[in-house]
Amino acid sequence: MAYTTLLWVLFALLLPYYFRPLIHNLLNHRANAKYAREHNCHPPKVHLTKTVFPFSIVNVYQFARAAASKRHINHFLDQVQRFGNTRVYSSPLFIGHAIVSIEPEIIKTILATNFADWELGKVRHEAFSALLGDGIFTSDGKVWEHARALLRPQFVKDQISDLNDLEIHFQDLLSILTAPGEGQVVELHKLFLSYTMDTSTSSLFGESVFSLRRRGGDGVGESFQDDFDYAQLAMGYRLVVWGYHLLYRPRRLPKALKRIHDYVDEFVDRAIQRQRVEKKEEGKYVFLEELAKATQDRKVLRDQTLSVMIAGRDTTATLLSWVFWLLSKNPKMWGKLRQEVLYEVGKELPNYQQLKDCRYLKWVINEALRLYPVVPINFRYCNKNTTLPIGGGPSGDLPMFVPKGSRVVYSVYALHRRTDIYGADADEFRPERWGEMTPRAWEYLPFNGGPRICIGQQMALITASYTIVRMVQEFRAVEDADIVREQVLTNIGLTLSPANGTPVRLYRDVE
């Protein structure tokens, strides 16, 4: 009897939790219908999937399985191509609405036109905040506005166009690339991560961790990079399992996060101390010291610094990896790029304007970002009842009602492979397409768009451009050394990177 009573008590306690969404939806149904009529909204045209089962469990399981085999991006692309450019899920018991779309007008609406109606939501913050705190990539509303205002002055042209520091670290990279000898296989992806760790810590902290010089060592700088990479991998898995991220608690993560935060905090404390006791003399620009002029809140400084590190380090390393992965498989395009670089720049160190003037270089980067955008899948939650401009009505060209709390998932990766935008060869690497076409607004979004457009995009592009030019100057040829010829595999993480790395053979230029 006591056992039966306990079961009834548990049932009574859990009943409100599980049926709260149902009760909420029933109470709001009439108000929502009125809002939809007032805004001339129509039922979704395509793929309205109604189910009493929690959509998230089924889809998270499928996506997680694909992620475990490094095929999550292609799994998502297959789903979009199977069900069309917009798919609406409706579950009366659990989630209300979830919309998956690669329509430029819908993406424009949530990122720009109706920006105030949409936010990252608590899932992103809960998944990433252990590493990034309340940084610019995890926050919404006033917190995000404050972070953006703090960081914007740090990315002016004078800061990103100073290339002197890059050459120091490129020489470290070059010494490693040439050490194995002519035509030996080198794995570029890991080296690019170390290279951009060195360049980013130099500009952020005022001193580099010099991870390229300490490869294979056990110093603090080497440990920091290992912990940083591991933490990002863990954050990526947390995001994959969506609302179940709190169940993913690997043992190594707390210690890795503590070491990361302790390491950055040392530089934060130095920057604060210098602001208190001395005036900084004119000299090398140091991000953290400049940021400390605006705030001396240690947590704010750490959170924003780590966010910028991801923007400056991982974005650039990922872009470089895909560029060389693609060029190694397309020797003719490497030859065209080399011809342009030697004509426009020669063998001297490139300057800012020369990098901007290399047209084919820009096409190569654009095409790499089109095929492998840094952030392939993203999402937003609506914080109020709102509408989307298309998706409703018999032809799908009328407004569609979106109830508060709904989620829109959009994929730049899938958008960039739409054949109706980029042609029948949309899956192919062909830089020349950028001399033949210009995508309309919101059809090409390698760095997102709207008020939350990537604040560090110019820094990433200039660093990548400089590095590509210097590699082209130093090596006459690059060959593919990837023995894996199956479907492209990608890592789970905060950025899209090749799971098999970027193994290549490099051949030095001969005077």
What's the pLDDT tens digit per position in 168-206?
A: 999 999 999 998 888 899 999 999 999 999 998 888 888
Q: How many residues does the chain have?
A: 511
CATH number at residue 408: 1.10.630.10
Mean pLDDT of 213-232: 76
In a domain, 73, yes or no: yes
pLDDT band at 9 (very low <50, low <70, confident <90, very high): low
Neighbour count for residue 11 (Cβ, 10 Å): 10
Determine the pLDDT at residue 463.
93
In a domain, 470, yes or no: no
Determine the pLDDT at residue 15.
59
In a domain, 415, yes or no: yes
Angle at 365 between CA 361 and CA 366, to 5 degrees: 115
Determine the pLDDT at residue 53.
45
Domain boundaries, position 67: 18-307+378-453
Of the chain, the percentage scoring pLDDT greater than 70 comes to 82
> H or E segment at 186?
strand 185-187
260: which 2 tokens? 């990361």
Total domains present in the chain:
1
In a domain, 502, yes or no: no
437-459: per-residue pLDDT in tens?
A: 999 999 999 999 999 988 878 88
Determine the pLDDT at residue 19.
59
Determine the pLDDT at residue 60.
63
Determine the pLDDT at residue 49.
54
pTM tops 0.85: yes
In a domain, 394, yes or no: yes
Is the predicted pLDDT of residue 311 greater than 90, yes or no? no
109-133: per-residue pLDDT in tens?
A: 999 999 999 999 887 888 888 899 9
Say if CB 151 and CB 308 are below 8 A apart.
yes
* Tokens 């109604």 -> residue: 50
Determine the pLDDT at residue 124.
81
Determine the pLDDT at residue 94.
44
289: which 2 tokens? 């010291």
Mean pLDDT of 317-343: 96
Determine the pLDDT at residue 217.
54
Mean pLDDT of 56-67: 67
Determine the pLDDT at residue 183.
83
Strongest mean pLDDT among 63-72, 230-239, 248-257 = 248-257
Is the predicted pLDDT of residue 210 greater than 60, yes or no? yes
In a domain, 458, yes or no: no
Determine the pLDDT at residue 328.
96
How confident is the prediction for the chain on average, in pLDDT? 84
Mean pLDDT of 69-91: 76
In a domain, 491, yes or no: no
92-110: per-residue pLDDT in tens?
A: 444 456 888 999 999 999 9
Is the predicted pLDDT of residue 209 greater than 80, yes or no? yes
Say if CB 371 and CB 412 are below 8 A apart.
no
pLDDT band at 391 (very low <50, low <70, confident <90, very high): confident
DSSP 420: H
Compute, in degrees rounded to 10, the torsion defined by CA atoms 272, 277, 282, 287. Answer: 0
Q: Over the range 416-433, which residues count as b (16 or more CB within 10 Å of their CB) and which as e?
A: bbbeebbeeebeebbbeb
Determine the pLDDT at residue 149.
84
In a domain, 349, yes or no: no
Strongest mean pLDDT among 246-250, 296-300, 325-329, 457-461 = 325-329
* Tokens 């990079």 -> residue: 225
pLDDT band at 499 (very low <50, low <70, confident <90, very high): confident
Is the predicted pLDDT of residue 91 greater than 60, yes or no? no
Neighbour count for residue 77 (Cβ, 10 Å): 19
Strongest mean pLDDT among 205-214, 379-388, 456-465 = 379-388
Neighbour count for residue 68 (Cβ, 10 Å): 12
238-295: per-residue pLDDT in tens?
A: 776 666 666 777 888 999 999 999 999 999 998 888 877 665 555 667 888 888 888 8
**Cα 316 to the center of its chain, rounded Å:** 11
* Tokens 């949530």 -> residue: 110
Mean pLDDT of 388-410: 89
